[in-house]
Structure 1
Amino acid sequence: MVSKNWIKRKEVSSKEIDDFSKKHNFDKILSELLLERDLTDKTELEDFLNADISGLQDPFGLHDMDKALEIIDEAVETNSKIAIYGDYDADGVTSTSIMKLTLKKLGIDPIFYIPDRFKDGYGPNLDVYKFLAEQNIDLLITVDNGVSGKDEIKYLKDQGIKVIVTDHHDLPEELPDADAIVHPTIPGFEYVCPYLSGAGVAFKIADALLGDEALELIDLAAIGTVADSVPLLGENRVIVTEGLKRMSENNHVGLSELIKKCKLKINNMSEEDIGFKIAPRINALGRMANASSGVELLTTGDADFAKEIVDETEDINKKRQEIVSKVYEDTLVQVEEQKDNGVLVLSGKNWHQGILGIVASRVVEQTHKPTLVLQLDAESGIYKGSGRSPEGFNLFTALNNYRELFVAFGGHAQACGFSVDEDKLGELTEKIQSETSKQKFDVNGSVNEKYDLDLNVSELSFDLIKTINNLAPFGMGNPKPVIKLKNADLSQIQSIGKDGTHLKAKVASDKYQVDAIGFGMYEKAKELTTSICDVYGELGVNEWAGRKNLQLMLDDFEVSAEGKKMSQLKSIYLDYRNKRIAPSILDKFDSIVFFNETYYEVVKRHDANAKLVMYDQSCDGENILIYDRPHDIELFKKFIKENKTLHTALYFHTDLNSRYLTPDMHKMKVLLKYLYTHQNIRETDMQMVADYLKIQKSDVDFYLKVFFELDFVKIVNGFVEKADASKQRELTESPTYLKRLKRNDVEKILIESDFGSLLSWISEYDCHS
């Protein structure tokens, strides 16, 4: 997998967060997230956090909107024949559907044409325009394309056909001579939301034509907006937020059937449901067949017909998934063969042309290298391909340097489509390798990624999800917050998925843990040298069998600095606690270390071959076993700070059934009150007192000794009496009490903790690293 370098999205001080939180009465987590996104202006905050239809902008702010409406109004009045020319992706399908439904509401039944990816290609096609002209159309409306169709549109104009272009793609040097061009970035007429999707532009036309009735189409606009990965800011945020809400109104029976097939809850849809469930199915139609059925699905009022299309769409999507998996697997051999190349050129003879871009994206994600994936058309001898590249490398610029080698070529910085003759592929592969150095792009370098929150596992909760979701919908320009869990334990690693490449695990810290899923991360997890990692992921909910559980979607994990140290310590320290130690085992060590003279003398009588030493003697470079536990944890700290051993076995002469008891303040008060309120209690009566108060006799003896040392009680003629204490005393003034506390520290740290926690504590003082 690609190495990732994780940095905080923006460093915000605790004071800034506190001040912002108090000023706006926000949760501190929400305050930090907003500050990281530079959302501080009051009006901007209000619009961002409370996106609703009041945030929809005046549609007449778009270039030529008034002209477009005049032309459409005239066409409606004269009952003109209108054709809609769309595109084969989800944005194009929803744009076409919005325009078709809008015109139907005006009493026009338009025809529509969705280009075939394989036959017609992307964008305006002169042959198709000629075909539409033969249908005697009076008006052509393009959606999600057209701004680059100068020659094709001229043909229609020469035939006396009016043309309205609605588009959002990059503008060419020269605009077509259309009757109206509705576009958000025309120079001098830049719209307040310049990053509308194709569906967003189509919705604005519906808004201008229908007013409030257009809101019945905003759910389709939301699908196109999410699917096209435009920034979810400004009006786009309103379109998606409102569109998700209105999906439950069932305005489109086809969409409702599709949502049902995806097993989603129509009353609780999210942008992730669109991005991972709805849009891929619509896109599959254009990749594998013809996307016209997608428009039929989204515009039909017949539930039975809609169900048929949905079933067909599901079959096509499953086929698409299978083909993508197969072709991706086929590319892996070539990826390995080209591991020294800066640009990967992967080709096949029987690969499906519609999924080449998806495969290229997967390879880029795994390798961080610009990637071209091509399929040979045997009849023409031409390779048709798609290219993708990581951020930082301009693929369009790179390929444009060799334009003469292509039959056809187009695209932008991160994605290109092209055709190249079979006999030119070798030359292209060789020449393009120099482009990474020209652009000073390090294909072996780490990728900079941003995270938002530093948290502990204990802080993960359903309430935290609610706080984070104040920033939804998430997408381009407003990514879902990534959480960093420092020094977490990544454990219970399992391989899941059909091909076993996905990871299921637990992420834990202290007594808290959360389920985690990492796509394509099992191999990486298997290679970990220690489970102590810095973990990065997005918090969500996994709902199964009616139960909801927190789940972390992993973005990455890496052995933490502490984890590396822990890994080293695991090779040095051995856990012998609660094991039986036979004399023969002691002989395997260079030295046996003691903290107590008593144990030293006992073991000495066994004639052990190993050297027996006290804790204040040097054991540098030796294999040792620490036999017993110190009464003061500071002695153990000093020992591990000063002795750089080869291996250290920790025995501590541990008996799990024998513990130093923690002083119980309540029991101490009960005993002291009893002694103060009862007379004639002899020192020898303590067993009876212990039985009556239900306190262990050993505890009573300990507490009584503490009371004597603090002058709470005294012995007079063998009887226990209240002492005349002249001042308030603290328990820690008792040497016995203080000694017990120190022994309890030893107990808690060295005996009771699990080995991982013990090593974590040792790492703070150990001298090996």
Structure 2
Amino acid sequence: MKKWFVKNKKFDYGRMSEKFNISPLICKLLVNRSITEERLISSFIDSNLDHLHDPKKMKDVVKAASILKSKIETHKRIRIIGDYDVDGVISTYILFMALSKCGADVDYDIPDRIKDGYGINRSIIERSKSEGIDTIITCDNGISAIEPIQYAKDLGLTVIVTDHHDIPFIEDEESKRTFISSCADAIINPKQEECDYEFKSLCGAGVAFKLIQVLYEKMKIPMEESFRLIEFVAIATVCDVVDLIDENRIFVKQGLEAIKTTNNLGLMALMKESGIESKSISVYHLGFIIGPCINASGRLDNAKKGLRLLIAEDREEVDSLAKELYELNQDRKDMTIKGVEKAIEIIEGTDIKNHKVFVIYMPEVHESLAGIIAGRIKEQYHVPTIVLTKSEEGVKGSGRSIDCYNMFEELLKCKDLLRKFGGHPMAAGLSLDEDQVENLREKLNQVTDLTEEDLIPTINLDMGLEIDRIDYELIEDIERLSPFGKGNNKPLFGDKNIRVIKGHILGQNRNVLKLKLLSKQGKYMDGIYFGDIKAFEELITTRFGSDELERLYQGSNTNIVIDIAFYPTINTYMERSNIQLTIEDFR
């Protein structure tokens, strides 16, 4: 059973409602998401491009734009070094298209996930130098590449870093941290201590976009031209799972509008291949369809295919690439399912199931899938999970965490067992020798202060809301807060003592439960549940008896009464609309 909590933050909701002309309900939801500054409230309610921050406030962005302008005017060769995930591919695309528009002699390179690993390295630098490159610009990587960038400078290259990852540090014996930086000619990252930029949570593509805004100004290109790139920034922002507040919210909201009328052949071909070309594109489509297809090339093949799809202007080529990426993603899905099944088998068949931190070693799993599998296991068991696999050089892996477990800090306690590691509280990557796997598992579980209570999943309700109050107007009011995602989750409400009149199981895999609900005031409403149907049936059988469960599926009048945690939606089918509650949990 999950723990239910109702958020109850104190605030002057009346004043807020009057000042911004929004309902008390919307005020409550904004405060629950810590949106309380007037500037943030204003940009949240009216998410237009006027609310974007001045890019010139970002440290080194003006300096970098000046360097690039000089290199363009003197016809120096520029190479973009990206990353193999969606954010890295999109960042590379944004820089490549914008620099090309400025007349730059520019190309790109993206490391191979298996052969090169993450980020810029000596091999890439040597190749760049031998091919006559003058300037390297990184995107979505480079902030931690202290030694490679020193090597590049020693070879006489100009280096500009654009990144959004945490700043590297060294730690002394007293655990005091000193942040360090490379000798790059310009370093653009809003997370630098000396950077005064207001918003620190941009993805890599967001940082690259800020540089392009300043470069366009220097090159006398209208600012509106930079806005043509926002649809791509939106894809990267959603797929990199950064908080959808402040500028990120503006990027995604405006980007979704732009995608409706996109003229990018690759994007159109990918939407057609995925069967979503006629749909109203949402955050879901970016995060679970378009993004994973672009990502699949970097996981199972080479990320440059995803980039070529976006750059290509030949319809035959984009159709071929879109089909290839879609099929790669289908392969990735199948491999992931098998990997998750194997991980569960290992957990349930060993003592790992009793651990507070799961460390699962699966040598045969493709290393690009470790993070996805770790995320699925973390969701199923609500336990911090690290999945390790055999690589060309020892063991590599990825971890995904829960809210009360800072994975980066916990790995820091085990740094003597690791070759390399990096990340943040909710996710990390690491490498180690194979003979240290068991030692890592033991130490992580020894040093953790997680309690059994911490491992019980929680449901955080925004507020109690009787389903009798729900109407189309209320749902439309809530939709003003969309798009939803990290940092702006879909609002979750709760109501008690709801009668369940009947139910049936739907879906090809019989994994959807549809219920007919009856409110306390006699109002009928549909509910849809995508969770663990077996657990639902066990709860009903335990509390009300197997006869009542049978009556439920027969459509007979039942005595079943439950509490529900839900999100209200409008369901449209065959041009008919009705209110439907998406049920997150029940008790």
TM-score for both structures, normalised by structure 2? 0.87
Query: Which residue number in structure 2 is paired with residue 242 of structure 1?
Result: 254
Letter in 2 for 1:61: K
Structure 1 position 555 matched with structure 2 position 584? yes
Q: Cα–Cα, structure 1 residues 347 and 274, in superposed 2: closer, same or farther, change >3 Å?
A: same
What is the CA distance between 1:254 and its match in structure 2? Answer: 1.3
Query: Which residue number in structure 2 is paired with residue 53 of structure 1?
Result: 49
Query: Which residue number in structure 1 is paired with residue 496 of structure 2?
Result: 486
Spell out, residue by residue over 1:516-557, the C-alpha distance to the aligned partner (whole angstroms, 9 max, x if none). 1324x1121121134422211333344445544444333222
Letter in 2 for 1:183: N
- Partner Cα distance (2:472, 2:276) in 1: 20
Query: Which residue number in structure 2 is paired with residue 155 of structure 1?
Result: 151
Spell out, residue by residue over 1:480-512, the C-alpha distance to the aligned partner (whole angstroms, 9 max, x if none). 211213222356455555655554444443341
Q: Cα–Cα, structure 1 residues 440 and 133, in superposed 2: closer, same or farther, change >3 Å?
A: same
SS at structure 2 position matched to 1:523: helix
Does the aligned pair in 2 maintain the 1:87–1:115 contact within 8 Å? yes
Query: Which residue number in structure 1 is paired with residue 562 of structure 2?
Result: 533
Which of these residues, 8, 11, 16, is aligned with residue 10 of structure 1?
A: 8
Query: Which residue number in structure 2 is paired with residue 397 of structure 1?
Result: 409
Query: Which residue number in structure 1 is paired with residue 226 of structure 2?
Result: 214
- Partner Cα distance (2:296, 2:96) in 1: 21
Q: Cα–Cα, structure 1 residues 179 and 350, in superposed 2: closer, same or farther, change >3 Å?
A: same
Structure 1 position 345 matched with structure 2 position 359? yes
What is the CA distance between 1:213 and its match in structure 2? Answer: 0.7
- Partner Cα distance (2:209, 2:387) in 1: 35
Q: Cα–Cα, structure 1 residues 132 and 490, in superposed 2: closer, same or farther, change >3 Å?
A: farther
What is the CA distance between 1:479 and its match in structure 2? Answer: 1.9
- Partner Cα distance (2:478, 2:42) in 1: 16
Does the aligned pair in 2 maintain the 1:12–1:32 contact within 8 Å? no
Gaps of 5+ in 2: 169-178, 217-222, 545-559
SS at structure 2 position matched to 1:450: strand
Letter in 2 for 1:177: C
Gaps of 5+ in 1: 559-769
Q: Cα–Cα, structure 1 residues 397 and 27, in superposed 2: closer, same or farther, change >3 Å?
A: closer
Which of these residues, 339, 347, 351, is aligned with residue 335 of structure 1?
A: 347
What is the CA distance between 1:401 and its match in structure 2? Answer: 2.8
Which of these residues, 133, 140, 145, is aligned with residue 141 of structure 2?
A: 145
Query: Which residue number in structure 1 is paired with residue 206 of structure 2?
Result: 200
Does the aligned pair in 1 maintain the 2:202–2:248 contact within 8 Å? yes
What is the CA distance between 1:55 and its match in structure 2? Answer: 1.0
Greater relative contact order: 1 or 2 (C-alpha under 8 angstroms, separation 6 or more)?
Answer: 2
Q: Cα–Cα, structure 1 residues 266 and 351, in superposed 2: closer, same or farther, change >3 Å?
A: same
Which of these residues, 56, 61, 64, is aligned with residue 60 of structure 2?
A: 64
Does the aligned pair in 2 maintain the 1:372–1:386 contact within 8 Å? yes
Letter in 1 for 2:537: K
Does the aligned pair in 1 maintain the 2:407–2:425 contact within 8 Å? yes
Structure 1 position 375 matched with structure 2 position 403? no
What is the CA distance between 1:357 and its match in structure 2? Answer: 0.8
Which of these residues, 177, 181, 198, is aligned with residue 183 of structure 2?
A: 177
Spell out, residue by residue over 1:35-68, the C-alpha distance to the aligned partner (whole angstroms, 9 max, x if none). 4445566554332211111112221111111211
Spell out, residue by residue over 1:152-207, the C-alpha distance to the aligned partner (whole angstroms, 9 max, x if none). 11111111111110111111222111111111122232211111110101111121
Query: Which residue number in structure 1 is paired with residue 317 of structure 2?
Result: 305
Q: Cα–Cα, structure 1 residues 108 and 19, in superposed 2: closer, same or farther, change >3 Å?
A: closer
Query: Which residue number in structure 1 is paired with residue 425 of structure 2?
Result: 413
Does the aligned pair in 2 maintain the 1:222–1:243 contact within 8 Å? yes
Spell out, residue by residue over 1:268-325, the C-alpha distance to the aligned partner (whole angstroms, 9 max, x if none). 4332332222222222222222111111122222333222211111101111111111
Does the aligned pair in 2 maintain the 1:484–1:536 contact within 8 Å? yes
Structure 1 position 325 matched with structure 2 position 337? yes
Q: Cα–Cα, structure 1 residues 118 and 68, in superposed 2: closer, same or farther, change >3 Å?
A: same
Structure 1 position 523 matched with structure 2 position 537? no
SS at structure 2 position matched to 1:513: strand
Structure 1 position 86 matched with structure 2 position 82? yes
Identity %: 36
Does the aligned pair in 1 maintain the 2:525–2:579 contact within 8 Å? no
What is the correspondence of 1:387-466 to structure 2 with a 5 Å cutoff? Answer: 387-436=399-448, 439-442=449-452, 445-466=455-476
Query: Which residue number in structure 1 is paired with residue 220 of structure 2?
Result: none
Structure 1 position 132 matched with structure 2 position 144? no
Q: Cα–Cα, structure 1 residues 503 and 359, in superposed 2: closer, same or farther, change >3 Å?
A: farther
SS at structure 1 position matched to 2:353: coil
Which of these residues, 256, 276, 284, is aligned with residue 264 of structure 1?
A: 276
Letter in 1 for 2:319: K
SS at structure 2 position matched to 1:123: coil
Spell out, residue by residue over 1:698-739, the C-alpha distance to the aligned partner (whole angstroms, 9 max, x if none). xxxxxxxxxxxxxxxxxxxxxxxxxxxxxxxxxxxxxxxxxx
Which of these residues, 367, 370, 373, is aligned with residue 356 of structure 1?
A: 370
Which of these residues, 447, 463, 477, is aligned with residue 487 of structure 2?
A: 477
- Partner Cα distance (1:109, 1:506) in 2: 63
Letter in 2 for 1:294: G
Does the aligned pair in 2 maintain the 1:371–1:387 contact within 8 Å? yes
Does the aligned pair in 1 maintain the 2:511–2:530 contact within 8 Å? no
- Partner Cα distance (1:465, 1:193) in 2: 30
What is the CA distance between 1:28 and its match in structure 2? Answer: 4.2
Letter in 1 for 2:464: D
Query: Which residue number in structure 1 is paired with residue 328 of structure 2?
Result: 316
- Partner Cα distance (2:165, 2:4) in 1: 32
Letter in 1 for 2:475: I
Does the aligned pair in 2 maintain the 1:90–1:279 contact within 8 Å? yes
Deviates more, 1:533-542 or 1:61-70: 533-542
Does the aligned pair in 2 maintain the 1:455–1:486 contact within 8 Å? no
Does the aligned pair in 2 maintain the 1:150–1:175 contact within 8 Å? yes
Query: Which residue number in structure 2 is paired with residue 713 of structure 1?
Result: none
- Partner Cα distance (2:154, 2:133) in 1: 13
SS at structure 2 position matched to 1:29: helix
Q: Cα–Cα, structure 1 residues 95 and 547, in superposed 2: closer, same or farther, change >3 Å?
A: farther
Structure 1 position 255 matched with structure 2 position 286? no
Name the larger-Rg structure: 1
Does the aligned pair in 2 maintain the 1:91–1:225 contact within 8 Å? yes
Deviates more, 1:206-215 or 1:277-286: 277-286
Structure 1 position 32 matched with structure 2 position 61? no
Letter in 1 for 2:409: T
What is the CA distance between 1:148 and its match in structure 2? Answer: 0.7
- Partner Cα distance (2:122, 2:583) in 1: 47
Deviates more, 1:181-190 or 1:501-510: 501-510
Deviates more, 1:546-555 or 1:188-197: 546-555
Letter in 1 for 2:7: R
Does the aligned pair in 2 maintain the 1:12–1:36 contact within 8 Å? no
Does the aligned pair in 1 maintain the 2:149–2:182 contact within 8 Å? yes
Spell out, residue by residue over 1:199-242, the C-alpha distance to the aligned partner (whole angstroms, 9 max, x if none). 10111112112222101101111111111122222222222222
Letter in 1 for 2:459: E
- Partner Cα distance (2:508, 2:377) in 1: 19
Does the aligned pair in 2 maintain the 1:392–1:441 contact within 8 Å? no
Letter in 1 for 2:56: F
Q: Give the aligned length.
A: 549
Does the aligned pair in 1 maintain the 2:20–2:42 contact within 8 Å? no
What is the CA distance between 1:105 and its match in structure 2? Answer: 0.7
Query: Which residue number in structure 2 is paired with residue 284 of structure 1?
Result: 296
Query: Which residue number in structure 1 is paired with residue 557 of structure 2?
Result: none
